Amino acid sequence: MKDVTFLVDIGSTFTKVTAVDVEKRRIQSQSSAPTTPKDVSAGLQNALEGLKLTRGELQSAQVLACSSAAGGLRMVAIGLVEDLTAKAAKQAALGAGARVLKTFSFQLTEEDRAEITQLKPDIILLAGGTDGGNTENILHNAKVLASLPTAVPVVIAGNRSVAQEVAQSFPASFSTYIAANVMPQIGKLQVEPAREAIRKVFMEKIIYAKGLTKASRLIDSIFMPTPAAVLRAGQLLSQGTAITKGWGDCLIVDVGGATTDVHSLGEGMPTKAGVVVRGLPEPFAKRTVEGDLGVRVSVLSLMEAVSARVLAQDTNWSESQVEDRIRLLNAQPETLPQDAEEELFDQVLGHQAVKLGVGRHVGRLSELYTPSGLVWIQDGKDLSKVKRIIGTGGVLINSRDPLAVLEGAQQESTSLLELRPESPNYFLDGDYILAAMGLLAQEQPEVALTVLQNSLREYELTRRDK
């Protein structure tokens, strides 16, 4: 089966396998099985067996994998100034597929050190200072981190003038990786080298630490965390290849049980005349993670963000019914809807998660009065002209009316200062292929793009009768 590549996504709940015929550029088959946390290779073996393969067929094929199992990639980001290098470090970490536990700025204190110890990150991203600029803070922070009781891989992406000295501050038990500065100049963002370094650490250290090496006899390589694979697929879909044109600016919304992830692909520059951009430049491929907007594990915080009153209005339930259902979903996150009313409840939760998640991701306009008159200021990305929104995640894919969930991303008359998409078309990742195609894009971008464009179906073509 030399013409078939197997793409594996080892998730916290399910392990999914997609077989792609690279010659015909199409999905050949798919299978999934529950992830087995103590030994992920068992769940992977079960998923592969669902494809009805012989041992010889599997051994002759290429098998690539990404993973978000064992809590995903947990990181702490550290910079000099909260709105500058600390923000740049966070963008680099999120773009690498990490879950950023906390961002620290300025000089770390003993209290910060204790908190980092308690957070137990998989990787620390240490930035600070533009090239040739401040050196004191990053050197101080390196010494504080070097005294952590447990050695943690550290990616150094700050002032290049002292990068080697920073690395030498750590004992031999710490693995250090030097990448280009995430902000070499004021106002210039450079996150890709740090993202690549984080991916290298993931492959070299984190896979082993999380026990994923048990699956190594079945796969050729784990390339990246699953969120990074999704972002890579979005980049490919947006920008295309040298041969095939992409779709242009896109927004991907992934609604999960624990988080709602939003990925935007586009420059995000002002689309209206007379608007001035403020703050750091936004990365073309931007990811945000909202840890309080999940529809199961984080459903209590979602209710707090929305309010039981709003959920009751949207579902025609009483507030006490809403609160009882929320408590049940929080205590038993594996709960699935059993009737039309419970399906509607999940749909409303998903809609609100999308609405809030996209609202936090997009840029905003504000008024500033100057001696010359009124000026409009843009903070963040202008996504108002984005024409394609792609939805993924169980609450969307299993919904009878995914459009009702995804419409939470669209511009509303009550929030015109939020730069949301104004009149997008909606697509559904009904086959769960975004992560798989992000993996395939590393080696076969043309094949991956063809599969994406053929498999992501516009909503009207996938509507199911209620």
Per-residue model confidence (pLDDT) at position 211: 58
Close Cβ partners of 346 (under 8 Å, ≥ 6 residues apart): 295, 337, 395, 399
Q: Is 61 helix (H, G, I), strand (E, B) or coil?
A: coil
Per-residue DSSP letter, 408: G
Would you tell me how many other CB atoms lie within 10 Å of the CB of residue 238?
Answer: 22
Give the integer Cα–Cα distance in Å for 454 and 462: 13
Residue 414 CB contacts under 8 Å (≥ 6 apart), including other chains: none
Residue 234 host element (H or E): helix 226-239
- Do the strands 154-156 and 123-126 form a parallel or antiparallel pair, or are they unpaired? parallel
Are the C-beta atoms of residues 186 and 129 closer than 8 Å to each other?
A: no
pLDDT values of the chain reduced to their tens digit, one per residue, 466 residues: 568 888 988 877 788 899 998 888 999 888 888 877 677 777 878 888 888 766 666 666 788 888 776 566 788 999 988 877 788 888 888 877 777 888 998 899 999 999 999 999 988 999 998 899 889 999 999 999 999 999 999 999 999 999 999 999 999 999 999 999 998 988 788 888 988 888 888 777 666 655 566 655 566 666 678 888 899 999 999 999 999 999 999 999 999 888 899 999 999 999 988 899 988 888 899 998 887 888 988 899 999 999 999 999 999 999 999 999 999 998 888 788 999 999 999 999 999 999 999 999 999 999 888 787 888 999 999 999 999 999 998 889 888 899 999 999 998 876 778 999 999 999 999 888 999 999 999 889 999 999 999 999 887 644 444 3
Number of C-beta neighbours around residue 176 at 10 A: 21
What values do phi and psi take at 7, rounded to 5? Answer: -115, 125
In 3D space, the residue among 347, 457, 343 whose CA is nearest the CA of residue 405 turns out to be 347
Asked whether the beta carbons of 437 and 445 are under 8 A apart, the reply is: no
Judging by beta carbons within 10 Å of its beta carbon (0-12, 13-18, 19+), is residue 92 exposed, middle or buried? buried
Q: What is the pTM of this model?
A: 0.84
Q: How many CB atoms lie within 10 A of CB 107?
A: 14
What pLDDT is recorded for position 391?
A: 95
Residue 280: closest CA among 140, 83, 43 = 83
Structure-derived torsion over alpha carbons of residues 268, 270, 276, 278, reported in degrees to the nearest 10: -10
CA distance 161 to 427: 47
